[in-house]
Structure 1
Amino acid sequence: MPDTLNQAKLFQIITNNLPVGYMVINKEGLIVEFNKTAENITGFSRDEVLGTPHELFHASPATHACPLLEHVFAHRQGAVNTETEIVRKDGLKINISVTTIPLLDENGIFHGGAALFRNITSLKKMQRERENILSMFAHDMKNPLLASIGFINRILEGKTGNITEKQQQYLSVVSNNMKNIEALITGFLDFSRLEQHECLPVFSETALVPLVKKIFTNLSIAAERKQVELRFEAPPETGFLAHADPFMLERALTNIIANAVKYTVPKSTVTVGLTRQGTSFLFSVADTGPGIPPEKLPLIFEPFYRGENHDGNGSGLGLAISKTILACHGGSVEVESCPEKGSTFFIRLPQGDMRRP
């Protein structure tokens, strides 16, 4: 018995000195452990929360908003790092970074879950302020840039008088570079609006097969230039109808398929597949490019990230925009890759209206 008491005391000392909040819930969803840092973060005392449902902290009624429900109880996933919002005792909503872990014994029997979390509200506020400053800066740049492009085009069209061949050559270079900058600014502003939920999907019944064929048509010139075949594989049925924003979904898919065309080797094939998987549609986009090193896979959906094989064009925002658009639809995008053999992107899209509130 003394050894058991010593072990219990040691455990309490360790958990109370952790620099992060620590909470354990049993398989019934009741809180059974709550350390000092968790008290400081939430404003609740240990005695107040023990034996109560962990939904006490929920800022949203949606199941997916709770990492414990989503990753531990629903899917029994291993350690998962994510961010969410909770409500303190004083009613204040705060942002936390949380790692959730299912508690399984040696026989694989489920006993509950644990969460390690820290308050990142100040960090998120600084991030939003930085994004707002960048957005304002980009917006203020765009209008004079467009005006400058217009004036250069007027000169190139001869509306201000004759120019020499060398002048026309130099002005064409300037015009093309300015158009590239304008495209980068537009991409950044679009991503910023998506991130801040200022650009929301307009949902309607969307036929997926014609949508993919339209994207193929739009990308046909780029594919022909590399002698790349665009192949579409789907079961012979007409029921591929999703509740989605057709324009945003087209953009998300175009970014991913265009990337595949860009990075695949010449005289090869980019294959887009479409199937049903449970209550979702599953797209696959496979290329035969150089592949992505395993250590780089977690980075490719980050804003402004560009792989080692990029050609200098583009903003590094395409995949980040696609991921954000799909999240607005309640969907997701993942990638599997093998260096020197190629990559396959998997896009999941709910069949019904599964958008996140």
Structure 2
Amino acid sequence: MLRNREFRHFTVLFLFMAAVFSALGFAISRAAGFLCLISAAAFGMAFIIFTKARYQSIARLSGQIDLVLHKEDRLDLDELDEGELSILHSEITKMMLRIREQNDALKKEKIHLADSLADIAHQLRTPLTSANLTLSFLEDEPDADARRAFVRETEDLLLRMDWLITSLLKLSRLDAGVVEFQQEATEVDSLIHTALRPLLIPMELHNIELQIKTPGEIIIRCDPHWMTEALQNIIKNCMENAGDNGKLEIDCTDNALFTQIAIHDSGPGFAKQDIPRLFDRFYRGKSTNTAGYGIGLSLCRMVITQQGGTITAKNHPEGGAVFLIRFPK
């Protein structure tokens, strides 16, 4: 306790006052002097006991803080009686719990980052290896037609790599929270047709039947650019699953609780074990197109959920897969 400068100053002042009042008491009478001495001693002893108990409580708090700073897993703070020290105890407990939660979150983020980097390296390595192999064939191929085929294959690989890198950059921006979505009142019919525009020719080439049901002027609040991209990725996924001579239905409904966009294809649907992980990043299930990277659906979910919507996927009772996008009112 004597390490505390304020306590030392109080002790000196207390002893000085006790000596002065005891001297005044003895000047009056011996009884008054002894009464002053006994009162000063009793008060001083009570103060020391009380202060020592408070210092012991503070020392316990300090010890626990030191354990947390040294990454101790335990958090064992005894409850204190009401008062300023109890309030301090409560605030320190909250602070340490918050620090623990942040440390756990940072550990998970480090693990996620390491896994993501490993996945990204793996995803980029595959087309790079294919491109290098194609170029080596191109160098030794004398036939002009075969060389042109190798060049087209290399261009396709470079386009896939460009798409992959662009998608990864978008995911990293969404993860970092630097994307500011513009909440605008947008017609669902306009969103759907804008998303469909680049896919109409591939649908026609594969003879895919398209049905769109968007009754009335249904409005949702979203960022038109990002939402169009999300819808386009989902429609493209359904188009690939439907295959040649398949069917694609886009149905929009509106009620008092939410606006729903349902996208249904006539493909084989999802494998049961794939459904819980469809939107996981880099996940490629057994029913997934081998040319995919497992990024598109993850990107769609982030775009939709960060704008207040939800997206789910399941097998349709009539066959095929169905994606349900909902925006609450």
Q: 261, 268, 274: which one pairs with 1:296?
A: 274
What's the counterpart of residue 315 of structure 2? 337
- Supply the distance in 1 between the matched residues of 2:308 and 2:78 (Cα, whole angstroms): 35
Matched, 1:245 2:211: no
Shift of 1:131: 4.4
Where does residue 212 of structure 1 map in the other structure? 192
Question: Is 1:200 the equivalent of 2:180?
Answer: yes
Matched, 1:177 2:174: no
Asked whether the 8 Å contact 2:259–2:328 carries over to 1, the reply is yes
Query: Which position in structure 1 is the counterpart of 2:299?
Result: 321
For residue 110 of structure 2, the aligned residue among 125, 147, 169 is 125
TM-score, with structure 2 as normaliser? 0.60
In structure 2, relative to structure 1, the CA distance for the partners of 1:90 and 1:265 (3 Å cut) is: closer
Amino acid at match of 1:284: A
The 1:276/1:319 distance shift into structure 2, 3 A limit, reads: same
* Cα distance between partner residues in 2 of 1:340 and 1:205: 34
* 1:226 is aligned to 2:198: no
Does the 8 Å contact 2:209/2:245 carry over to 1?
yes
The answer for unaligned runs of 5 or more in structure 1 is 1-39, 49-55, 58-86, 97-118, 153-162, 352-357
Q: When you count strand as a share of all residues, which structure comes out higher?
A: 1
Is residue 271 from structure 1 mapped to residue 265 from structure 2 by the alignment? no
Once superposed, what is the RMSD of the aligned Cα atoms?
3.6
Do the aligned residues in 2 keep the contact of 1:334 with 1:347 (CA within 8 Å)?
A: yes
- Unpaired runs of 5+ residues, structure 2, are 1-71, 81-89, 136-142
In 2, are the aligned partners of 1:206 and 1:243 still within 8 Å (CA)? yes
Deviation at 1:185, TM superposition (A): 1.7
Mapped to 2, the partners of 1:298 and 1:324 lie a distance apart of 16
Q: How many residues align?
A: 234
The answer to whether the 8 Å contact 2:199/2:236 transfers is yes
Which structure carries more helix by proportion? Answer: 2
1:284-331 Cα shifts (integer Å, max 9, x gaps): 111111111222111110111223234432321111000000111111
Q: Can you list the C-alpha shifts for 1:188-232, whole angstroms capped at 9, x where unaligned? A: 221222122232312222221111122223211121122111211
The answer to whether structure 1 residue 281 and structure 2 residue 259 are counterparts is: yes
Distance 1:189 1:121 in 2: 21
Q: Is the 8 A contact 2:252 2:262 kept in 1?
A: yes
Secondary structure of the structure 2 residue equivalent to 1:224: helix
**Paired residues of 2:270 and 2:287 also in contact (CA < 8 A):** no
Identity %: 21
User: For the residues of structure 2 that align with 1:42 and 1:227, how far apart are their CA atoms?
Assistant: 64
Q: Is the 8 A contact 2:188 2:214 kept in 1?
A: no
Name the residue aligned to 2:169. Answer: 189
Distance 2:100 2:201 in 1: 50
TM normalised by structure 1 equals: 0.56
Residue 345 (structure 1) shift: 1.0
